[in-house]
Structure 1
Amino acid sequence: MHHQSTRCTSLAFSAGLLLLGSASLVQATEGGVSSWPLGIENYGMGILPPPGTYGQLFIGNYLADTLRDNSGAKAADIDLRVTTLVPRFIWVTEQQVLGGNLGFHALLPLNDIRLNIKNGPHDHKRGIGDAHLGPVVGFHHSDKFHTAVGVDFVLPTGGEYDKNDLVNLGTNYYTVQAVYAMTYMDPHGFNADVRLMYDYNFENQDTHYQSGRELHADYTLGWGLGNGWVLGVGGHAYKQVSDDQCSASNCAAAAMVDAADGNRGSSFSIGPAVQYASKDGWLLSAKWQDESGVRNRTDGQAYWLKFTIPL
C-alpha cells in the first residue's frame, strides 16, 4: 500500500469521475475511479428501441465517507459528494447488421464535486466530464428477450486536467469499453437486466500511469405489476482484473504503483429499483444502491434517476 501522503495525492484524481466522466486515497485504477458510473443503468438496459431518435437524462448523487484498503479495512475518513447530470442522445437507424438494428449513442456529463479529507485539504469543482460515444447493435429475440452489443469510446474531455489538483473532472486518458447487454422483460411478471462491460484504459500522458483492465456489470431484477410499474432491486458488480502499470522512472511520485496487489479494486452494490413506463412512450426509473465488499476504493451510496423520451 501507499504511504498516507501518496494516498491523499491519488485521491486528487479520483473524485472527478466517480459518477461519470466520472475518490480514493488508495488507488484502484488511477485515483480509484472508473470511466463508467457504476450502477447508473436501470431496467431495459438491453433493449435498443425502434428506429428513431431518443433523449435520456440521468441524474445522480454519490455520497461517501470511507475509503477502504486492499483488505477492506478503513484507510481514511473522507467527505465526498458528487452530483451529476448526464444528457444522452440515442439514434437507432434502419440499417441491419447481422440481423440487428444499428444504433449510435453519445453522452456528456455535467459534474459538481466536493471533496474534504478529514484533517486535510478540500476542493470543489464543477464542469464537463468525459464524453462517451459509440455504436451498438440491438437484437429482439422475442417480445420479452432482447440483447445488445457495442463498443464505447471514452474521450478525455473533462475540463482542464492538473495532476496536482485534489479534484479533476476527467480521467485525462482514453478508454475503450466492450459492452454486452441483456433484458428479459415481462410487464406482468419477472424482469431481469444486465449490462456487462470490459474496459481497456490507455496511459495518462501527464502522469505516465496506465490503469488496469476492468470487468464490471450493472444489473436489475424486478417484477412487473401489469400497470406500467416494475419493482425490484438493482446495483453493480466491479472487479479490476489486471494491475495498474507505472514505475518510478516515468511516473509522478504520487502515482507510483508500489502495492503488491497492483492497486486492484473491487466493489458490489444493491438497493431498491423502480420503473414506470407510460402509455405515451416515456419511461422514468429510480434506484438507490449501497456499496459493500469494497477494496481500494471509496465506500458509499448512490442515487440515480433515469428519464427516457422519444424525440
Structure 2
Amino acid sequence: MPRSSSASSFYRAPLKASALVLALAAATSAMAAENGNQRYSAGIGGSDMTTPVVPGLYFQAPMVAYHASKIKDKDGKQLTFLNPVAKVEIDTDTYAVLPRLTYISSHRLLGAHVGVTAMLPVVKRKATFDAPAAISPYAAIRANVQGFTGSETGIADLEVSPVMHWEIGDHQSVTFAPTIVMPLGDFKANQRVNAGFGDYYTFRPSVQYAFIGDGWDLGGRAVMSFNTRNKDTGYYSGKIFNFDWQAMAFVSEDIRVGVQGYFVRQLQADTLDSDGTLANGYARTQLAREQGSKASVNGIGPAVAWLMNGGEMLIEGKFIKEFGAKSRTEGQAFWLTISKPL
C-alpha cells in the first residue's frame, strides 16, 4: 500500500525521526561465551534500522525480558552431565533497560554524515542451575551446579561508537559504527551471574543496510565481535557474528506490522588460560567442556510499531522465539522500545 503522508513526514522530517540504534549490549545467555554472556543483544535492531538518519539528538530506551529453560550442547541436544548421564536443569531470566543517546551532526566525512552514540544498560539477571535428584548420590556435583545459581542487578558495560551514515539513493542507506565496549559493569569472577561481563574489551564493528519502499521497509545489520582475554578469569570468548533483519509494512497511517529475525554464529572457539580464576572445581571442568564449542542460534517473530502523533515518537513491540541453538541457551524475548528526538 502507498505510504501515508503522516508516515512519510516521520521518515523525512528531522524532528520526526526515531532514534538511531546501532549495537546494544547483550541481554541473552549463552554457553560458549564466558558465563553464558555475549556483548551484543540479538534482536535489538528494529524499526531504527530503516529510519533515515538526519542531524539531531535522539534518545532511545529499549527494554527486554528474556527467558530460557533449555540449554543445548554442541550437537543441539539438551546439555547433560558426563557421569552420570542426566540433563542440566536451568531457569534463567534477563531484564534490561538500555538507554542510548545518539547525536548526528550536519558535517560530512567521505560523503557520510558523522556522529556519535553511547549506551549504558541497567540489567537484572537471574539464573537457577540444578542437577536432577536422580544424581543425588553425587552430592558434590549437585552442590557445585547449584552454586551457579544467583541473582544480580546493576550497571552493565559502557559502549561508545562513532557513526558514519551514507544515503546511497532515494530509498537506500548504509550506516557504519565501529563500537568499543568497555568493562564498566559489576563483575565477580567467582560467580556465574553478573551484571557486567568482566575485565576485557570488545571491538564490535557493524554495517547496517536499509531499503525504504513505498509503504514497506527492509533492514539488516551485520555485526562482528572481537574480544580481548578476560583479566579476571583468563577466559577468552571467541569471535561472534550476528545478523539481524526486519521487514515491515504500513497497515494504516501510523501502524506498521512485520516480521523480525536473526542468527548468531560463533566463528572461533573459546579458550581458557591454565591459571584462570574460576569459582570452583566443577566450574573449571564445565568450562573446559565448553572450550572448542561454538555457539549458534536462530530467532524469528512478529513486530508492530506505532508512530504517535504523526511520528513525534515511535513505540515498537516484538516477540522473538529462538530455535536451533547449539552450545547455548534457547529461549524467547519480549522487546518494548521507545524512541524520541530531543
Cα deviation, residue 247, structure 1: 3.7
Q: CA RMSD in A?
A: 2.1
Secondary structure of the 2:47 match is: coil
The yes-or-no answer on 1:28 pairing with 2:59 is no
Question: Between Structure 1 and Structure 2, whose CA radius of gyration is higher?
Answer: 2
The yes-or-no answer on 1:72 pairing with 2:76 is yes
Using a 3 Å threshold, how does the CA distance of structure 1 residues 251 and 115 change in structure 2: closer, same or farther? closer
Partner of residue 307, structure 2? 277
Q: For each residue in 1:213-267, what CA deviation from the matched residue of structure 2 results, as whole angstroms up to 9, or x when unmatched?
A: 0111111112223513221111221000011122425564635764497121000
Q: For each residue in 1:12-34, what CA deviation from the matched residue of structure 2 results, as whole angstroms up to 9, or x when unmatched?
A: xxxxxxx935476x831212321
Cα deviation, residue 295, structure 1: 0.6
- Given candidates 133, 137, 141, the residue that maps to 2:164 is 137
Cα deviation, residue 83, structure 1: 0.7
One-letter amino acid matched to 1:156: P
The yes-or-no answer on 1:101 pairing with 2:113 is yes
Partner of residue 248, structure 1? 274
Cα deviation, residue 195, structure 1: 1.1
One-letter amino acid matched to 1:164: N
Aligned-residue identity in percent: 27
Q: Is the 8 A contact 1:39 1:236 kept in 2?
A: yes
The yes-or-no answer on 1:169 pairing with 2:195 is yes
Secondary structure of the 2:35 match is: helix
Partner of residue 115, structure 1? 127
Cα deviation, residue 280, structure 1: 4.1
CA distance in 2, matches of 1:255, 1:281: 52
Give 1 or 2: higher helix fraction.
Answer: 2
CA distance in 1, matches of 2:170, 2:291: 45
Using a 3 Å threshold, how does the CA distance of structure 1 residues 177 and 110 change in structure 2: closer, same or farther? same
TM-score, scaled to structure 1:
0.87
Cα deviation, residue 123, structure 1: 1.2
Q: Which ranges in structure 1 are unaligned for 5 or more consecutive residues?
A: 1-18
Partner of residue 63, structure 1? 67
Q: Write out the 4+ residue segments of structure 1 that deviate beyond 3 Å after TM superposition.
A: 19-24, 249-261
Partner of residue 16, structure 2? none
TM-score, scaled to structure 2:
0.79
Partner of residue 153, structure 2? 126
Number of positions where the alignment pairs a residue of Structure 1 with one of Structure 2: 290
The yes-or-no answer on 1:287 pairing with 2:318 is yes
CA distance in 1, matches of 2:316, 2:214: 15
Give 1 or 2: higher strand fraction.
Answer: 1
Secondary structure of the 1:44 match is: helix
Partner of residue 84, structure 2? none
Cα deviation, residue 46, structure 1: 5.1
Using a 3 Å threshold, how does the CA distance of structure 1 residues 48 and 227 change in structure 2: closer, same or farther? closer
Cα deviation, residue 193, structure 1: 1.0
Cα deviation, residue 210, structure 1: 1.1
- Once the two structures are overlaid, the 10-residue window that deviates more, 257-266 or 275-284, is 257-266
Secondary structure of the 1:31 match is: helix
CA distance in 1, matches of 2:299, 2:56: 33
